[in-house]
């Protein structure tokens, strides 16, 4: 019986992998950065890393949309890049929620993981490219900056042009679970390594008002018995976020619990928790926006 289950699971993985193999990205579609043209973005939305915790971004987006807040720029790290690219492609919050609740997580697993090899991330690339209709980053409805870590010099890199799926794949290549992603001769890993919530990138791209979303765990909710490696990673992430936080006009950090999951129940729960949290922060968000608007109306000296 156990052998049959394993065989069935392997077959399911194989079927899920079908269609993810694509031709190499041509040189003119390789992810790259070019400064934004036109006036500086008025409002930037910065979406942080966190793997499955990233479903919480959708709950935040639902409330921001209800408030009439629509970003002129989106910057994302890791799962935040995936959500940001889909949002930038035109999926509003209700559409993202439908994608999230209907998602078959099996499509992201790879056969190599059965033998403990790191994943390539190709299914992520294929999923994103499919959902955006193979549009490149510069052809999305809202400009999107995708951040990744370049291995050769351990520097943060931003992609805002080129293949959306490949950029997201690089941004989400967690070194603990994924192979580095090669783009134009360079290897890239997760943007989370250097900037879990890339607020500075949004400012560098010209954003005048920044709403940042941190979906990382609260240190005080860390359960007993958690591996030290997890605690160290959480502490590193928290330090990096604190360093950038002062540059955000609004920083949202919903408490969605410590442990992450992939079940439909988990997805619905964290979306709901993030939505409730953001509703509670609506007065502060409105006050920050009002202060920003008032400052913009001040005469130049």
* Cα separation, 198 vs 245, whole angstroms: 9
Single out the residue of 128, 147, 55, 48 nearest to residue 96, CA to CA.
55
Q: How far is CA 278 from CA 4, 209, 210, 284, 289, in A?
A: 46, 18, 15, 10, 15
| Residue 190 is a catalytic residue | yes
Q: What burial class does residue 163 get, using C-beta atoms within 10 Å of its C-beta: 0-12 exposed, 13-18 middle, 19+ buried? A: buried
* Candidates 49, 77, 78, 195; catalytic one: 78
Q: Is 225 helix (H, G, I), strand (E, B) or coil?
A: coil
Separation of CA 1 from chain center: 39
Single out the residue of 59, 105, 102, 56 nearest to residue 79, CA to CA.
56
* Candidates 129, 160, 163, 190; catalytic one: 190
Structure tokens given for 34: 């070019």
DSSP summary character for residue 240:
H
**Helix or strand run (H / E) with residue 210:** strand 209-213
Single out the residue of 280, 50, 29 nearest to residue 134, CA to CA.
29
Q: How far is CA 265 from CA 61, 109, 262, in A?
A: 19, 19, 8
| Residue 176 is a catalytic residue | no
**Positions marked catalytic:** 78, 190
């Amino acid at each position: 019986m156990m052998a049959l289950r394993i065989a069935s699971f392997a077959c399911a993985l194989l079927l899920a992998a079908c269609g993810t193999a694509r031709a190499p990205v041509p040189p003119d579609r390789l992810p790259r950065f070019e400064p934004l043209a036109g006036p500086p973005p008025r409002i930037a939305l910065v979406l942080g890393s966190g793997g499955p915790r990233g479903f919480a971004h959708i709950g935040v987006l639902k409330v921001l949309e209800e408030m009439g807040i629509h970003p002129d720029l989106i910057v994302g790290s890791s799962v935040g890049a995936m959500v940001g690219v889909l949002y930038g492609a035109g999926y509003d919050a209700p559409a993202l929620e439908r994608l999230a609740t209907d998602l078959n997580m099996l499509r992201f697993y790879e056969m190599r993981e059965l033998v403990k090899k790191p994943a390539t991330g190709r299914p992520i690339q294929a999923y994103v490219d499919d959902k955006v209709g193979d549009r490149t980053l510069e052809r999305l409805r809202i400009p999107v900056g995708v951040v990744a870590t370049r291995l050769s010099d351990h520097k943060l890199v931003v992609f805002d042009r080129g293949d959306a799926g490949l950029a997201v794949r690089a941004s989400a290549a967690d070194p603990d679970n994924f192979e580095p992603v090669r783009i134009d001769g360079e290897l890239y890993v997760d943007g989370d390594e250097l900037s879990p919530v890339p607020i500075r990138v949004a400012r560098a791209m010209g954003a005048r008002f920044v709403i940042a979303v941190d979906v990382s765990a609260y240190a005080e909710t860390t359960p007993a018995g958690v591996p030290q490696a997890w605690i160290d990673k959480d502490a590193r992430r928290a330090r990096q976020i604190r360093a950038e936080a002062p540059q955000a006009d609004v920083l949202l950090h919903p408490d969605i619990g410590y442990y992450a999951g992939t079940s439909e129940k988990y997805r619905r729960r964290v979306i709901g928790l993030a939505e409730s949290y953001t509703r509670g922060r609506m007065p502060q968000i409105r006050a920050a926006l009002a202060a920003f608007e008032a400052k913009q109306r001040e005469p130049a000296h």
